[in-house]
Amino acid sequence: MRWRGGRRSGNIIDRRGSGGGGLGGMGGLSRMRLPNGMGFPGGMGMGGGRGGIGRIVLIVGLLIAFSLLYQHFGTEEDTTTSGTVPAGQEELVDFVSVVLADTEDTWNAIFEQEGGTYREPQLVLFSGAVDSACGYAQAAVGPFYCPADQRVYIDLSFFDDLASRHNAAGDFAQAYVIAHEIGHHVQNLLGVLPEVHQRQQALPEAQANALSVATELQADCYAGIWAYHAQQVRQVLEPGDLQEALNAASAVGDDRLQRESQGRVVPDSFTHGTSQQRMEWFLAGFEDGELAACDTFGGAL
């Protein structure tokens, strides 16, 4: 990926070495207050759904209500406070900052073109564990997006795991992960995440899981939209980059992860989609570049 010399984002919060702060006894993934389909529960799983910038007008009231919650959570200290920052990550921090800036440029332009306003998310770097408005998370959760504070959270050591454990190395594989989580932020702004979460509360587990799959696949498609515009406008792709993203998408399919971890596949328990689905929806966004291409809910949302 051609990223060196690119603009750095001003929305990076570095909490590496902070030790995760403290919520006094809330420990681990089981206490994460994340709706189904958000974040990386139990491995590297990522998110799909229906968009349309026109939805912004319909959910202004909801976003105003949410903004009061965001203001409350915005009072925390956004700096590294203690501990040791992992060595050798300087270039990776630069890379993440450039990719985040590129997603900002892409989604600002798309929202503006459709008469909307894109609210840029913040990306929090942490090591080991972190407090978020969605709860206390350990690094094992993987990268995740918290809609309550509109932030993406990433422990950079995850990218080592992506290459070694999931056999998905490369800078564009890493960019795909970031763009996927930003895709959840786009869903949040468009009202998809709140609507999915509300519907899931009244559904049996298998149907709630199906909504999670659609949500995750749409975020994959939105990642593809970012890649399309980044290439069209800024020519960021190098030979092999697209395959790196597809390798990452395939590596985190529910079927593949379940087969590797438990030796069998249970489709009703899927929350992120199969390897084939994840690749197909990323490609759908990459080949079309339009939000309309990402209706993973089949018009049901």
Q: Average of pLDDT values for 4-25?
A: 75
Q: How far apart are CA 132 and CA 20, in angstroms?
A: 9
Provide the 10 A C-beta neighbour count for residue 240: 11
Alpha helices, DSSP H, located in 54-151:
55-58, 60-73, 90-113
What single DSSP character describes residue 121? P
Residue 77 has pLDDT above 60, yes or no: no
Residue 66 has pLDDT above 80, yes or no: no
Residue 119 has pLDDT above 70, yes or no: yes
Q: What is the mean pLDDT of the chain?
A: 81
Could you read off the pLDDT of 124-156 as tens digits, one per residue?
Answer: 999 999 999 999 988 888 899 999 999 999 999
pLDDT of residue 141: 86
Among 46-55, 137-146, 235-244, name the most confident range. 235-244
- Work out whether strand 151-155 and strand 12-14 pair parallel, antiparallel, or are unpaired: unpaired
- Work out whether strand 122-126 and strand 12-14 pair parallel, antiparallel, or are unpaired: parallel
Q: How far apart are CA 199 and CA 119, in angstroms?
A: 25
Q: Average of pLDDT values for 43-60?
A: 35
Q: Average of pLDDT values for 170-176?
A: 96
Residue 75 has pLDDT above 70, yes or no: no
pLDDT of residue 31: 30
Partners of 136 in the β-ladder? 131
Q: Average of pLDDT values for 63-71?
A: 32
Count of alpha carbons within 13 angstroms of residue 26, beta-carbon side: 18
What is the layout of strands, in order, in the sheet containing 122-126? Answer: 12-14, 122-126, 151-155, 144-146
Strand boundaries in 201-271, DSSP class E: none
Partners of 132 in the β-ladder? 135
- Work out whether strand 151-155 and strand 122-126 pair parallel, antiparallel, or are unpaired: parallel
pLDDT of residue 120: 98
Q: What residues does each domain of the chain span?
A: 12-294
Could you read off the pLDDT of 79-98 as tens digits, one per residue?
Answer: 433 456 677 799 999 999 99
Alpha helices, DSSP H, located in 131-170:
158-164
Contacts of 173 by beta carbon, 8 Å cutoff, 6+ apart: 162, 163, 244, 245, 247, 248
Which residue in the block uniquely carries the two structure tokens 């799909």?
A: 48
pLDDT of residue 36: 36
- The single-letter code of the amino acid at 76 is E
Could you read off the pLDDT of 222-238 as tens digits, one per residue?
Answer: 999 999 999 999 999 99
Contacts of 200 by beta carbon, 8 Å cutoff, 6+ apart: 35, 36, 208, 211, 212
